C-alpha cells in the first residue's frame, strides 16, 4: 500500500471542531485562554526566540565527523573516489538494497548523469510539482520537459496522465517520489516497458523510505537520492545514483569522473560529478545516525498529526507511522474555503512567530523561468498541480525541533485559523521586513 494513501488513526485524540468554533485549540484546550489565542501578528510575543527552519541541518555525532576529517587530512586523499566515498557508496547500496551506488557531488548532477546514461533525449515526461532541479536536469541537456499532472492524494505523477502524454518523441519518464512517497511506480514502469522508455526516479527526498519502496529495482532503471545539508541524512552537499543494472552502473562510474576509463583514456562524455572525502565523512556519520534521526522525525510527525487534526481545513499528508520512512517532510494542505484564511497568510503570520514554513513547491516548475516563457500553455493540463501548489505548506522538522515546540507551533496555527479575519486585516497593514515577498 502506498504510504501516502494510508491514514494515521487519530480518532479519539481530539474531537474535530467546526470552522466557527473558536473555543478549542489544536491541543484540545480551550482557546478562550489568553495563552492559546496569542499571535505575534496581533501584537503578542513571538512563539519562538530562535527561528524554526524547515531545512536546519542535523548534526548527529560531531566527534565522529571530526575524527573522520582528521583521518582524511592525514591520508592526503581528499577526493577522486577515496576510501570514505567508497565506504559511503557501499552503505548507500546496502541500505537501499541495490547492487550499485555511485556517489555524486549533489543530486542535481546525479540526475543529469543518470538522464544522460539512460540515453534520454527528445521529450521526457516529468511532474511540474517538484523542485526545479528535476526539470533543469532535463533542459540543461537539451531535453524538452513534458509537464504532466499529479495525483492530488500522493503528489506524485498520475500514471493515466503519463500514458496520455506519450508522443513519438518521448524517450523517458522522470518520476519524483516526492516527500518520500512511492506511488504508482509499478504502473509507470509498465508504461515505460510498453513504450520502450527509460524510467528514472528522482528520489531526492526518499533515502531510507524502504518499506513503501520495496522491489524498486524492478520498478525503475535508476534512482537518485539527495544528501544535501537540508536532508535528514546528509553529506553537506551530496547525492547518489543507485541501480541494480551492472552495465548502467559501470557507465555512470566513468561518467562521474569525466568519462575516464584509464589514466589518459576517456570513453564517455562525462563531467566532474564526484563526491569529496569531506562530504563522505559527513555522509557516513549521518548514516550511522539513521535510526535515531528517523525515530525523532517520526515522533515529531505524530505530534504534528495530533496538533493539526482538530484544525478545520488543515490536512496533514499522512503516511503509515509503522513504515520504514524518514518522516522528514511535514506537508500540510490548507483548504482556504474551510479555514477562511489562505496558505500564504498562514505562512506569513508564522514568520512573525519565528517559524519559517515553506511553500514547497510554489510556483511549480512550469511557472518558473525558463519554462514559463518557453511553454506558456503548460498549465492547461496541470489543474491538480496548480491547485496543490496553492495549498501546500511544509513545516519545520529535524533534530533541532522538539515535540513541545510542535505543540506550541500547532496551537499558533490553530489560533491563526480561529482569528482569521483579524490576522488578515493585520497582515494588510503590516510592514514588518520579516514578512515574505508574497505577503499581501
Ligand atoms: N529533486 C528534488 C525533488 C529536490 O527536492 C531536490 C532538492 C533536488 C532534486 C536536488 O537535490 P540537490 O542537488 O540539492 O542535492 C532546499 C535544498 O537546497 C534542496 O536540496 C532541496 N531539494 C529543496 C527541497 O530545499 P531551498 O533553496 O528551498 O532551501 P534553502 O537552501 O533556502 O534552505 C532551507 C532552510 O534551511 C533555510 O531556511 C536555511 C536553512 N539552512 C540551509 C542550509 C543549506 C541552514 O540552516 N543551513 C544550511 O546549511 O532548497
Choice between 404 and 32, residue whose per-residue pLDDT is larger: 404
Question: Predicted confidence band at 377 (pLDDT cuts at 50, 70, 90)?
Answer: very high
Range in 3-17, 25-39, 83-97 with the lowest mean pLDDT: 3-17
Choice between 92 and 26, residue whose per-residue pLDDT is larger: 92
CA of 226 to the centre of ligand 1 (A): 10
pLDDT at res. 217: 73
CA of 419 to the centre of ligand 1 (A): 32
Ligand 1 pocket, residue 52 CB under 6 Å: no
Question: Predicted confidence band at 3 (pLDDT cuts at 50, 70, 90)?
Answer: very low
Ligand 1 pocket, residue 241 CB under 6 Å: no
What residue owns the CA closest to ligand 1's atom 25? 230
CA of 368 to the centre of ligand 1 (A): 17
CA of 122 to the centre of ligand 1 (A): 29
pLDDT at res. 35: 63
| pTM of the complete model | 0.92
How much is the average pLDDT of 42-68? 96
What residue owns the CA closest to ligand 1's atom 33? 55
Ligand 1 pocket, residue 176 CB under 6 Å: yes
- Whether residue 30 is predicted with pLDDT greater than 70 in this model: the reply is no
How much is the average pLDDT of 158-167? 98
Helices 420-429 and 403-418, axial angle in degrees (round to 10) = 90
Ligand 1 pocket, residue 279 CB under 6 Å: no
Ligand 1 pocket, residue 155 CB under 6 Å: no
pLDDT at res. 21: 34
Question: Predicted confidence band at 4 (pLDDT cuts at 50, 70, 90)?
Answer: very low
pLDDT digit string (tens) for 177-222?
Answer: 999 999 899 999 999 999 999 999 999 999 999 877 767 777 899 9
What residue owns the CA closest to ligand 1's atom 36? 55
Ligand 1 pocket, residue 362 CB under 6 Å: no
CA of 230 to the centre of ligand 1 (A): 5
Report the C-alpha gap between 393 and 333 in whole angstroms: 6
CA of 38 to the centre of ligand 1 (A): 31
Asked if 182 and 154 count as a contact pair (C-beta separation under 8 A), the reply is no
What residue owns the CA closest to ligand 1's atom 34? 55
CA of 372 to the centre of ligand 1 (A): 22
Range in 8-22, 81-95, 213-227, 304-318 with the lowest mean pLDDT: 8-22
Ligand 1 pocket, residue 122 CB under 6 Å: no
pLDDT digit string (tens) for 103-162?
Answer: 999 999 999 999 999 999 999 999 999 999 999 999 999 999 999 999 999 999 999 999
CA of 229 to the centre of ligand 1 (A): 7
How much is the average pLDDT of 350-375? 97
Ligand 1 pocket, residue 410 CB under 6 Å: no
pLDDT at res. 24: 37
pLDDT digit string (tens) for 252-276?
Answer: 999 999 999 999 999 989 999 999 9
Helices 343-352 and 403-418, axial angle in degrees (round to 10) = 120
pLDDT at res. 212: 72
How much is the average pLDDT of 322-343? 95
Asked if 289 and 61 count as a contact pair (C-beta separation under 8 A), the reply is yes
What residue owns the CA closest to ligand 1's atom 3? 131
CA of 166 to the centre of ligand 1 (A): 31
Question: Predicted confidence band at 22 (pLDDT cuts at 50, 70, 90)?
Answer: very low
Question: Predicted confidence band at 34 (pLDDT cuts at 50, 70, 90)?
Answer: low
Ligand 1 pocket, residue 239 CB under 6 Å: yes
Most informative mutation of 230, 361, 396 for ligand 1 (most atoms within 8 A of CB): 230
pLDDT at res. 434: 93
356 CA closest ligand 1 atom index? 38
pLDDT digit string (tens) for 273-307?
Answer: 999 999 999 999 999 999 999 999 999 999 999 99
Question: Predicted confidence band at 379 (pLDDT cuts at 50, 70, 90)?
Answer: very high
CA of 55 to the centre of ligand 1 (A): 7
Amino acid at each position: 500500500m502506498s504510504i501516502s494513501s494510508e491514514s494515521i488513526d487519530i480518532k479519539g485524540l481530539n474531537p474535530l471542531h467546526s470552522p466557527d468554533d473558536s473555543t478549542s485549540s489544536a491541543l484540545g484546550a480551550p482557546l478562550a485562554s489568553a495563552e492559546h489565542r496569542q499571535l505575534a501578528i496581533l501584537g503578542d510575543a513571538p512563539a519562538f526566540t530562535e527561528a524554526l527552519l524547515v531545512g536546519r541541518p542535523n548534526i548527529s555525532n560531531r566527534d565522529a565527523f571530526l575524527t573522520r576529517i582528521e583521518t582524511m587530512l592525514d591520508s592526503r586523499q581528499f577526493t577522486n573516489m577515496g576510501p570514505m566515498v567508497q565506504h559511503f557508496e557501499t552503505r548507500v547500496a546496502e541500505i537501499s538494497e541495490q547492487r550499485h551506488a555511485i556517489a555524486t557531488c549533489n543530486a542535481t548532477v546525479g540526475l543529469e548523469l543518470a538522464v544522460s546514461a539512460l540515453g534520454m533525449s527528445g521529450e521526457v515526461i516529468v511532474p511540474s510539482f517538484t523542485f526545479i532541479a528535476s526539470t533543469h536536469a532535463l533542459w540543461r541537456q537539451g531535453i524538452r520537459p513534458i509537464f504532466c499532472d499529479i495525483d492530488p492524494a500522493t503528489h506524485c505523477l498520475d500514471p493515466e496522465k503519463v500514458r496520455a502524454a506519450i508522443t513519438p518523441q518521448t524517450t523517458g519518464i522522470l518520476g519524483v517520489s516526492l516527500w518520500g512517497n512511492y506511488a504508482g511506480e509499478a504502473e509507470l514502469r509498465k508504461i515505460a516497458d510498453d513504450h520502450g522508455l527509460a524510467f528514472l526516479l528522482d528520489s531526492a527526498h526518499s533515502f531510507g523510505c524502504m518499506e513503501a519502496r520495496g522491489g524498486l529495482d524492478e520498478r525503475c532503471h535508476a534512482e537518485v537520492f539527495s544528501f544535501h545539508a537540508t536532508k535528514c541524512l546528509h553529506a553537506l552537499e551530496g547525492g547518489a545514483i543507485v541501480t541494480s543494472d551492472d552495465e548502467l552502473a559501470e557507465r555512470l562510474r566513468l561518467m562521474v569522473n569525466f568519462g575516464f576509463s584509464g589514466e589518459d583514456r576517456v570513453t564517455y562524455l562525462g563531467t566532474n560529478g564526484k563526491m569529496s572525502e569531506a562530504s563522505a565523512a559527513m555522509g557516513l556519520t549521518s548514516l550511522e545516525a539513521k535510526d535515531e534521526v528517523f525515530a525523532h522525525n517520526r515522533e515529531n510527525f505524530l505530534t504534528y498529526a495530533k496538533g493539526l487534526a482538530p484544525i478545520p481545513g488543515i490536512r496533514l499528508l499522512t503516511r503509515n507511522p509503522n513504515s520504514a520512512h524518514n518522516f522528514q517532510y511535514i506537508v500540510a494542505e490548507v483548504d482556504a474555503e474551510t479555514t477562511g484564511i489562505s496558505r500564504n497568510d498562514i505562512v506569513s503570520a508564522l514568520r512573525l512567530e519565528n517559524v519559517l514554513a515553506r511553500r514547497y513547491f510554489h510556483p511549480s516548475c512550469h511557472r518558473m523561468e525558463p519554462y514559463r516563457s518557453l511553454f506558456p500553455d503548460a498549465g492547461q493540463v496541470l489543474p491538480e498541480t496548480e491547485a496543490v501548489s496553492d495549498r501546500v505548506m511544509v513545516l519545520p522538522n529535524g533534530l533541532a525541533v522538539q515535540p513541545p515546540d510542535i505543540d506550541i507551533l500547532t496551537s499558533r496555527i490553530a489560533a491563526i485559523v480561529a482569528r482569521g479575519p483579524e490576522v488578515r486585516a493585520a497582515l494588510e497593514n503590516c510592514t514588518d521586513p520579516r514578512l515574505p515577498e508574497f505577503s499581501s
